[in-house]
A and B are shown apart, each in its own frame.
Chain A
Amino acid sequence: MMSLSGVSGLIETHKAVRANRGVAPGCRRKQLLRGLLVLLLAGLAACTGPAPVRPEPPATVPAETQDTPAEVQEQVREPARRESAGVQVHPLQNPAVKAMLAEAGQAESQGDYDRAAGSLERAMRIQPRDPEVLQAMAEIQLHKQDYEQALNFATRSYDDGARVGEICSRNWRTIGVARGHMGDSSGAAQAELRAGQCMNTKPASY
């Protein structure tokens, strides 16, 4: 059965919490009022029931212990910027989306990748298919070492993007890095090749 449980069953959380701060379901008034003097001790005993146990939500993302901010910079952004010197595509961008990208960038530089992802989701609600936003999300996923999502967001950014120039190069470099981490070395090499073709300004055949 899918229904509710199916739909929501697909939802995963990546941060364990203990939201419940010592909320003991205390003995209730009605029970107490019914209790007689002789039940005093018994009642006391009944009040020391087990504390609630919080089910731990599944953690799907490894803890952010091995931060690799250098990877995104050195293997994605920097080479893409270098190569694309002659091929620049500057699509008009919504100022609200730009503001959210800036906010995400700030959170990223502070190492707060959850907050960065939150800002990028806000940007996506405004402009769902902005390739810059999608690629920024892919890079945040690289930081978080969620390589599958990095791959998925980069692919989507490529599908919706210019498929040429710097953003294209960042797309394929991210895909390459992600595939490498996922053990797909031939896929990574292929992505490297595609990144190289992003600077090919020859238009597609007509």
Chain B
Amino acid sequence: MSPGSGTIYFMATSNRNGSAARKINQPVPGRGWSGGIWRLLLLVFGVFLGLLVPWALYLDYQVTSEFEGRKWDLPSRVYARPLELFPGERLARADLELELKFAGYRSSPAADKPGRYHVSGQTIDIFRRSFQFPEGTEPPRLLRVILADDSVAELVDLKAGQAMDIARLDPAEIASIYPLQKEDRTLVRASEVPTLLLTGLQAVEDRHFKQHPGVDLSGIFRALLANLKAGRTVQGGSTLTQQLVKNYFLSGERSVARKLNEAIMALLLEWHYEKVDILDAYLNEIYLGQQGDLAVHGFGRASVFYFNQPLDRLEPQHIALLVGMVRGASWYNPRRNPERALERRNLVLDVFAETGLLSAAEAEAAKAQALDVTENPQGSGSQYHAFIELVRAQLAQTYRESDLKSAGLRIFTTLSPVEQEKAQRAVTAGVDQLHQTGLPAALQGALVLVDTMSGEIRALVGDRYPGREGFNRALNARRQVGSVIKPLVYLLALEHPESYSLLTRISDAPVVLNQPNGKQWVPTNYDEKSHGEVTLLHALTQSYNQATVRLGLQLGVNNLLHKLEQFGISVPIDEVPSVFLGAVELTPLEVTQIYQSIAAGGYSVPLRSVVAVQTADGGELVRYPLRLMPQTQREAIGVLNYALTQVVQQGTAKALPGLLGNSTLIAGKTGTTNDRRDSWFVGYTRDRLGVTWVGLDDNGPAGVTGSNAAMRVWAELFKDLPLEPVDLRMPDGAFWLWVDDKTGALTAQNCPGAIEVPFVSGSEPTTSTKCMAEASEENDESFWSKWIDRNP
């Protein structure tokens, strides 16, 4: 510093501050220049203390709170139900391949690594990945599935060379529930990642990581030289620690001040923490990709995001790609810029070879490999968001939203990805076709598909357009249900065997009711006709309104409301007779809950979308077990099940077998509301219960009926599902009898007009046909004649 500048500095100071000037201008005998320097140093020291130390403290606080606070914010992962494989299972090859695709498996010339499969005719080899199921971890396993006639004929453990009774695939990851900052990561530890990742990172990014205190002067010098030599920036001098700091406070700004801050923070981090902690944080923090507004941080998630493999399954070329991407994840994005990414990867492999991490031969072999990146990231599909909405609602009973978003939970659900795909396709294609037949273009649809007995939800469609988020009709469209409610009226009747059986006759004649508001209610039938005396069975299968209202009035509206409550419905409903015809607004999910009780023979279960939740490390588990809640008088439900199969055999849904191209015994019920606003169809096989709704969002007349719209959508789905006939074995307290279809009198199987009908004990006919009396005599004769014949 020249004396002049010092003088100017002091003068300037004196001009600004009178009292200081007075002090400074006082001559200090015998000290002269040296006194000035001393004062200068003191001031600089003061400035240092006054500014730099608090500044460093502030930076220290910032960087340590980032370091401590952020590393545990983990999204929760949501898994589909795992596919069970076992001999005898009905499984088409296309469906198995679709399952594999959804679970992130890749078709390859040989199933030589976990996550790969190979198809050769009807033989599919699958290298199943290791997976942590709620019951425990299952190791990787090479499976052979041999199909025949759309069924699993054989299941073999190829390594052991043994037939297997059962195996399951690791489930598809269908969604993640993200933290507020929209960051996606899967935690890994430096001690657990492949060594090549750790050494490779240091070889490429920071060769003195072990020694430097956070900043590497020789590294900076080396980078400077290299950059000067190349005439552009080819190397960065930032240490891993500096890069970590930079990632904490990502900003595009490139200034000296920022670099300085980064350097100070890097020094501070190194001062506070061990190298291994910094490396742990780095591995989980570094930015490695983007999916929409979601940022992929860390190698754990990047490994799944790009290769759909856990980190410890990666090969040198995969690791090199990820290490190369540290320098610029979007610039070297292998999905968008594959050539650039490949070049960078190979450069990194060269560095691996130079530094002795790989042999030259290994590096060359790795360079010869393709990029091997999956087409789409796992769990990126929006096709599951309707289902996920239900999952979140169920979990909200036990978990806080903030925990779902940050505690890294593993959520095991009931969704079947293949059935979901088919269900969405059915709604989309089905409603499109309805439009083509002249129905409004704005028609919407919803669908719920559940496992009949367990109540596990296999598919949920809330919109006719796939992937569209917004109004979820399956959960939230509250619409009149129309005739879909009628079976409950008939169930109430069957619960009184002393008064009713399916063959009891009832009048389908005009009925006039006075309403509380003074108006009259005059329900009519769909065909505008009355049909006189009909059996309960006929009235239900043909969905006659007048007969149903008359029957309902004998039984009481309050009892119907009570029945709804027993079946899990607790919405407030006005106690008016129009409820008998379905003047009740319910959601498709609620309708499904009602029919689950019927389809499962009276063994009600609450519908479930989640079966278990586990902590990120596979620790403590919350189970949502199957709990049966049996209805009383299940014998009446057994008889009702038969009546609902007759709706399909001979009633309002008799077009269904034609639509399905299949005559399997199915039970169902159509529903239409006033002015054809809503179309419902509920149908079930032994194993699956499906509910479809079609209508307009504005609740306007849509020209739809149960059989012309919703049933077609239902058929569109079920024609692609395995169909098992409805189980009509009667429970204790109900049995089958042969009766005359005209008179309802007991008869014999071989008599004219004989039909087999189930009865609740106490409701069976008391009269018998003449034919039956004769037949029993004949039977006796034939019995004796048999003996006589045999003993000549």
Contact = CB atoms under 8 A, between A and B. Distances in A.
Contact of A8 (B606, B627, B628): B606
A32 B65 contact: yes
B453 A52 contact: no
A29 B570 contact: no
B628 A19 contact: no
Interface string A1-25: 1111111111111110111111111
Contacts of B619: 19, 21
B613 interface: yes
A25 B454 contact: no
B631 to A, nearest CB: 11
A4 B402 contact: no
B70 A19 contact: no
A129 B61 contact: no
Given A15-B623, A26-B68, A2 B248 contact: no
Given A52-B402, A125-B84, A57 B622 contact: yes
Interface in B591-632: 593, 601, 603, 606-611, 613-615, 617, 619-630
Contacts of B166: 95-96, 99-100, 126
A100 B164 CA distance: 12
B625 A40 contact: no
Nearest to B63: A32
Contacts of A119: 135
A24 B612 CA distance: 24
A11 B454 contact: no
A158 B732 contact: yes
A47 B68 CA distance: 11
A25 B406 contact: yes
A123 B687 CA distance: 14
Contacts of A23: 72-73, 403, 406-407
B390 A4 contact: yes
B628 A149 contact: yes
A117 B629 contact: no
B731 A159 contact: yes
B569 A2 contact: yes
Interface string A31-51: 011000100100110010000
B86 interface: yes
Interface in A142-171: 149, 152-153, 155-156, 158-160, 163
Contacts of B603: 152, 156
The DSSP consensus for interface residues of chain A is helix
B65 A47 contact: yes
A43 B59 CA distance: 13
Contact of B568 (A7, A94, A114): A7
Contacts of B397: 5, 8-9, 11, 57
Contacts of A54: 400, 403
B133 to A, nearest CB: 9
A55 interface: yes
Given A8-B397, A149-B627, A159-B601, A29 B615 contact: no
Contacts of A98: 165
Contacts of A122: 84
B727 A129 contact: yes
B521 interface: no
A130 B644 CA distance: 24
Interface residues of A, number: 66
B400 A22 contact: no
B399 A19 contact: yes
Contact of B628 (A95, A129, A156): A156
Contacts of B135: 115, 118-119
A14 B451 contact: no
B86 A121 contact: no
Contacts of A2: 568-571, 590, 593
A17 B614 CA distance: 9
A129 to B, nearest CB: 7
Contacts of A159: 601, 634, 731-732
A128 interface: yes
Interface in A41-81: 43-44, 47, 52, 54-55, 57
B743 interface: no
Nearest to B628: A152
Nearest to B452: A128
B61 A43 contact: yes
Given A29-B248, A40-B54, A125-B84, A7 B407 contact: no
Contacts of A152: 603, 627-630
Interface in B558-586: 568-571
Contacts of B7: none
B542 interface: no
Contacts of B57: 40
Nearest to A24: B69
A8 B394 contact: yes
Interface string B50-77: 0000110110011001101110110000
Contacts of B89: 96, 126
Given A37-B54, A40-B57, A128 B627 contact: no
Interface residues of B, number: 85
Interface in A75-95: 94-95
B475 interface: yes
Contacts of B727: 129
B475 A4 contact: yes
A20 B623 contact: no
Interface string B69-98: 110110000000000101111000000000
Nearest to A122: B84
A189 interface: no
A3 B165 contact: no
Contacts of B622: 13, 15, 17, 19, 57
Contacts of B627: 12, 149, 152
Given A23-B407, A52-B403, A40 B58 contact: yes
A57 B620 CA distance: 13
Interface string A98-139: 111000000000000011011101101110110000000000
A203 to B, nearest CB: 13
B621 A15 contact: yes
Nearest to A155: B630
Given A6-B568, A96-B88, A128 B454 contact: yes
Contacts of B61: 32, 40, 43-44
Contacts of A14: 623, 625
Contacts of B621: 15, 17, 114
Residue among A43, A47, A117, A129 facing the most chain B CB atoms (10 A cut-off): A129
A27 interface: yes
B398 interface: yes
B453 A29 contact: no
B165 A99 contact: yes
B587 interface: yes
A27 B613 contact: no
Contacts of B86: 94-96, 126
Contacts of A96: 84, 86-89, 165-166
B134 interface: yes
A100 B464 CA distance: 39
A3 B476 contact: yes
Contacts of A6: 568-570, 590
Contact of A11 (B73, B84, B394, B614): B394
Interface of A: 1-15, 17-29, 32-33, 37, 40, 43-44, 47, 52, 54-55, 57, 94-96, 98-100, 114-115, 117-119, 121-122, 124-126, 128-129, 149, 152-153, 155-156, 158-160, 163
Given A2-B570, A94-B88, 12 more contacts: A1-B571, A13-B624, A19-B399, A21-B617, A26-B68, A55-B398, A96-B88, A100-B166, A114-B621, A128-B452, A128-B453, A159-B731
14 contacts: A4-B394, A19-B613, A26-B68, A40-B54, A57-B397, A94-B86, A95-B87, A114-B621, A114-B623, A115-B135, A117-B625, A125-B451, A126-B89, A128-B453
8 nearest CB pairs, A to B: A26-B69, A10-B606, A96-B86, A8-B394, A4-B393, A128-B453, A96-B166, A152-B628
